[in-house]
Structure 1
Amino acid sequence: MNINLDIFKIQSNNVLPSRGKILISEPFLRDATFGRSVILLVDHTEEGTMGLVINKQLPLLLNDVVMEFKYLDEIPLYKGGPVATDTLFYLHTLEKIPGSIPVSKGLFLNGDFEEIKKYILQGNKVNECIRFFLGYSGWESNQLHSEIKENTWLVSKEENSYLMRNDTKDMWKEALEKLGSKYETWSRFPQVPTLN
């Protein structure tokens, strides 16, 4: 019986990164922030890249950080990355927020926070419309391309509805599975094979 051992070779899928695409970490990356992470690229230029880890919820709520939201329904906070962890970032699907930066069609980064607050305090839907992050992930010029060549990341594209959904527990596994059978096999690898 011939076994194709290539399925065990961690190799990037050679898709180029750009704003609005996602990075999916390779299965053995042992890093508290980036292991088993899905990162939405919110900017990608020759000068560098900025992204937000979208599947790592913090044990902290936005209600604990923004006092006006103290008595509202719980609003989760996510760890966007290891840079500027005292700064709030937010992704949203609200087209009319002044100063928002388009990430992809119908998905925006930041904008006038007073308008965001007003929207929330008026009782409008937050779930799957706005996601809040502390910190971001950043790469200097060519750093991300080097990491992709080293097979640290796979690059893919996802629908906004998937990126903004509440249940992020299996997001990394599902993002890999969508890339096909070889990557689906990766999704079942234990992160630390020696503990298996």
Structure 2
Amino acid sequence: MNKAPKTGTLLLAEPFMLDPNFKRSAVLLVEHGSEGSIGFVLNRQTEIRVDELIEDFPEIEANIYYGGPVGTDTIHYLHCKRDLLEGSDEVCPGVFWGGDFERLKFFIRQQLILPQDIRFFLGYSGWSEDQLKEELQSGSWVTAPMFANYLFKSQPENLWSQVMENKGSAFSVIAQMDEEAHYN
């Protein structure tokens, strides 16, 4: 049974989801309320580095992740450096969203924020007021607790399977299913 989503919940796409934006995706909800929800796909890394995309950005070996199909002309970031970045919002223990962009650039230049401390996202995933609730009821998503290590220590290409496996029980079996498996 899925728990009611809240900020900090990890959404795992059900194994047969065909939508290419979310197939085998792990989405972290960074905001969830009565007006809708916002999240970032954690396991869709691009080949583009953030310092190649943003003019006058300090050099950092950090690739951009595809955050979702909404607002693909925007950049967002999740990090573990709340003490350095004023204005950050806590998403869950050890994971913070946003913060002062000029300070971010300064701390990257000073090497006080390193690639393993931050993830950049192009666009985001968004749901209207009751849309996510309806998608959960129809079985499109499986909820899971979020841990900072999923973001900062796990291999993105293995994240969906790793979290399914960590849920145990039938989810362990789902984690082992071939990505190309289809209903009979």
TM-score by length of 1: 0.86
The residue aligned with 2:74 is 87
Match of 1:100 among 82, 88, 94: 88
Give, in angstroms, the shift of residue 61 of structure 1: 1.1
Match of 1:62 among 47, 50, 54: 50
Q: Which is greater in Rg?
A: 1
Tell me which amino acid in the other structure corresponds to 1:128.
Q
Give, in angstroms, the shift of residue 103 of structure 1: 0.9
Determine the C-alpha separation between the residues in 1 that align with 2:181 and 2:165: 19
Mapped contact 1:30–1:191 kept (Cα < 8 A): no
The residue aligned with 1:26 is 14
Mapped contact 1:128–1:164 kept (Cα < 8 A): yes
TM-score by length of 2: 0.92
Secondary structure in structure 1 of the residue aligned to 2:22? coil
The residue aligned with 1:6 is none
Determine the C-alpha separation between the residues in 2 that align with 1:143 and 1:156: 19
Structure 1 stretches of 4+ with a deviation exceeding 6 A read none
Secondary structure in structure 1 of the residue aligned to 2:56? helix
Deviations 1:78-101 (A, max 9, x none): 000000001000001112312212
Give, in angstroms, the shift of residue 166 of structure 1: 5.7
Matched, 1:152 2:140: yes
The residue aligned with 1:131 is 119
Deviations 1:36-82 (A, max 9, x none): 00001000001101000011101211121123346x34211100000
Determine the C-alpha separation between the residues in 2 that align with 1:118 and 1:73: 12
Count of aligned pairs: 181
Deviations 1:114-162 (A, max 9, x none): 0111111112342331110000000001110100111110111121122
Q: Which of 106-115 and 34-43 deviates more?
A: 106-115
Matched, 1:187 2:167: no
Match of 2:105 among 108, 117, 129: 117
Q: Which of 21-30 and 98-107 deviates more?
A: 98-107
